[in-house]
Amino acid sequence: MRFLSKLNLMAVLLAAVPTAFAQAGGTSNIKIEQPWARATPAGAMTGAVYMTLANKTDTADRLTAASSDVAGKVQIHAMAVVNGIMQMRELADGLPIPASGSVTLKPGGYHVMLIGLKKRLIAGQTLPLTLTFAKAGTISITVPIQAIGATRGANGSMSGMGGTQGKKPGGTMEMK
């Protein structure tokens, strides 16, 4: 009897493992690699999160939505130079992730946009982010926050983010 109950316990533990990994984004059909957010200056109302989304299946998927406790609204944005001006737009249909392929969100390109920040993003801290995929479902991750100047080797500047520079009286880039 004792032996049998131990086996049952093992079965329960084994069954619990895949769930735990799925919550961490580990064994999901979409693997979220190297997520990071850029720290924000005091008073900033927007922020951005970057990562690589790797599709571990042979079926194309799509990042359709995102949410976070630190922002009122989260959108999926693309950035591109239009007529010499860096602009960004919301991807209304989401961000496609090719079958057995990956897509990288990075400064100057695709990003997850945090709108209506409820708190300043401080380097060294983390923020929670939940991503929703058309096929892979919902994956919640913890995103490390990096210094404001961090670019992870990308050359794109995010100075066009929000298009608010110079418009806000008092400014959001005050140096102390």
Exactly one of 88, 114, 131, 143 binds Cu ion (CB under 5 A); that residue is 88
Q: What separation in angstroms does the CA of 46 have from each of 113, 161, 162?
A: 7, 8, 7
Bridge partners of 141, per DSSP, are 129
38 lies in the binding site for Cu ion (CB under 5 A)? no
Taking CB under 5 A as the criterion, the residue among 77, 129, 139, 143 binding Cu ion is: 77
Using the contact rule CB under 5 A, the part of the chain among 5-13, 95-103, 106-114, 139-147 near Cu ion is: 106-114
Instruction: Name the segment binding Cu ion (CB under 5 A); options: 27-35, 85-93, 99-107, 167-175.
Output: 85-93
Amino acid residing at 173? M
Kindly give the residue spans of alpha helices, DSSP state H, lying in 45-164: none
Chain positions 115 to 174 lying near Cu ion, rule: CB under 5 A, are none
Residue 113 interacts with Cu ion (CB under 5 A)?
Answer: yes
* 95 is a site residue for Cu ion (CB under 5 A): no
44 binds Cu ion (CB under 5 A): no
Local structure of residue 105 (DSSP, 8 states): E
The site for Cu ion, by CB under 5 A, has a size of 3
Strands 137-146 and 30-38: parallel
- How far apart are alpha carbons 109 and 87 in whole angstroms? 10
85 forms bridges with which residues in the sheet? 82
Q: Which stretch binds Cu ion (CB under 5 A): 7-15, 64-72, 84-92, 139-147?
A: 84-92
